[in-house]
Amino acid sequence: MFKINRRKFLKYSTIFSGGIVCSQLLKSTFSNELFAKSFEPNLYEASFYERIGNGQVRCLICPQKCEVNNGGRGFCGVRENKGGKYYLIVHSRPCSINVDPIEKKPLFHYLPGEKSFSIATAGCNIACKFCQNWEISQYRPEQVPYVKATPSDIAEMAVEKACKTIAYTYTEPVVFYEFMRDTAIEGNKRGIKSVVITNAFINEKPLIELTKIVGAIKVDFKAFSDDFYRNICNGELKPVLRSMEIIKKQGVHLEIVHLTIPTLNDSDKEIREMSKWIKQNLGEYVPVHFTRFHPTYKMRNLPPTPVSTLTRAREIAISEGLKYVYTGNLPGNDGENTYCHKCGKLLIKRLGFYIRENKIKAGCCSFCGTRIPGVFT
């Protein structure tokens, strides 16, 4: 029976620090000792579903609300109906394991400078045409290499790698919800917080449960337009807005990323309306990142986002009253630094994913003493 070899993983995983573990890279670097030749599903009964008759089930994890016949799978491809029972089949079957700086998520106001033990399984509950990780998010578990690693294996590896957090990232953790939840619980037992990198396309009940056990959630806010969500992502805007309000209300640290795509979601009007909504509903201190798009997957016809578009989006959001607005995927740009919202002094100087200088002391500006929103120790 195949099982992850932890010592070997710890040796090889340094190869990946700083970069996503893509399926081909995994395959060529690790031997079959570490990667099973064919996918062995791990049947873990789903926590949120209902039986709807004739052997069918309805999944209640996300707003897709898939209705699945016996033997079938939901849209995300990682949940399967077997004899009228619904199962997550990728529990303890990560396809990516990596050690990243937390700035890569990006989370700028949550334990800056610390390492995050990052995992993903195959699958996603939406289908963005610009997905940067489509080789794992849009594939079925059978199509990507994976390892067998239980939640306690992962938490132990995070401890050995001196990571302060475990991140559920790269694909969409909502689809491997039970695996994420059990890993977060194991991490908490060892003093390691969990951070969730998500599209926030999740139903209310599972989200509320999740907010009780994780430290931070970063939401990929695709656009302030339901048309964009439906036509480009196969999702919907409204549930995402509701999720962000719930996260805020539950008191979990929240950051937002907007991948700014030329001509699709980059108009001044949309950025302004989105900034107003964020301020009104989530508050002025929620960090917002405008990040640069690179042509990929089904969207290779558009150019990379011009630097001027990102700096303009940042200026608009700041003019609408948001206090911590960043530019992303632009190493060396001033928009990746943190300035105190009270005295305006430079607090964290970054270069890409790395911190050059940090003037936040015990969560406060070391110049004027103002408390800086976030978790810094």
Provide the minimum distance between the beta carbon of 363 and ligand SF4 in the complex, in angstroms, as a whole number: 36
Query: Of residues 197-226, which lie at the interface with ligand SF4 (CB under 6 A)?
Result: none
- Helices and strands counted in the chain (H then E): 10, 19
Closest CB to ligand SF4 among residues 66, 278: 66
Residue of closest CB approach to ligand SF4 = 74
Number of residues interacting with ligand SF4: please give it, by CB under 6 A: 12
| Least separation in angstroms between CB 338 and ligand SF4 | 35
Considering the complex, state which of residue 199 and residue 305 has its C-beta at the smaller distance from ligand SF4: 199
Nearer to ligand SF4, 78 or 99 (CB): 78
Q: Which is nearer to ligand SF4, 46 or 214 (CB)?
A: 46
Task: Please tell me the distance from the alpha carbon of residue 29 to that of residue 11, in angstroms, as a whole number.
Answer: 12
User: Would you tell me the crossing angle of helices 204-211 and 237-249 to the nearest 10 degrees?
Assistant: 30
Joined tokens for residue 263: 């001509």
Backbone phi, then psi, for 252, in 5-degree steps? -90, 140
Cis bond upstream, residue 106 (ω within 30) = yes
Contact predicate 158/166, CB 8 Å: yes
Residues 61-90 that bind ligand SF4 (CB under 6 A): 61-62, 64-66, 74-76, 79
Is residue 157 at the binding interface for ligand SF4, with CB under 6 A as the rule?
A: no
User: If binding is defined by CB under 6 A, does position 125 make contact with ligand SF4?
Assistant: yes
Q: Any idea which residue has 């029976």 for tokens?
A: 1
Find the shortest distance in angstroms from Cβ 80 to ligand SF4. 9
Which residues, listed in sequence order, are joined to residue 127 by a DSSP beta bridge? none
- DSSP alpha helix (H) spans, 138-192: 151-160, 177-189
Let me know: does 174 contact 199? Beta carbons within 8 Å.
yes
Nearer to ligand SF4 (CB atom), residue 26 or residue 89: 89
- CB contact at 8 A, 281 and 308: no
Q: Which of 20, 131, 175, 195 binds ligand SF4 (CB under 6 A)?
A: 175
C-alpha–C-alpha distance, residues 235 and 60, integer Å: 15
Collect all residues with Cβ–Cβ distance below 8 Å to 108 and sequence separation of at least 6: 255, 287, 289, 324, 326, 338, 348, 350, 374
CB of 79 to ligand SF4, least distance (A): 4
Angle of the 6-13 helix axis to the 151-160 helix axis, nearest 10: 50
Q: Which stretch binds ligand SF4 (CB under 6 A): 8-16, 57-65, 136-144, 319-327?
A: 57-65
Q: How far is the CB of 238 from ligand SF4 (least distance, A)?
A: 16
Q: Which of 59, 119, 240, 365 binds ligand SF4 (CB under 6 A)?
A: 59
Q: Between 202 and 244, whose beta carbon lies closer to ligand SF4?
A: 202
**Helix (H), strand (E) at residue 10:** helix 6-13
Select 82 or 361, whichever has its Cβ closest to ligand SF4.
Answer: 82
Contact flag: residue 151 with ligand SF4 (CB under 6 A): no
Pick 99 or 136: Cβ nearer ligand SF4 = 136
Written as one letter, the residue type at 280 is Q
Query: Which chain residues interact with ligand SF4 by CB under 6 A?
Result: 59, 61-62, 64-66, 74-76, 79, 125, 175
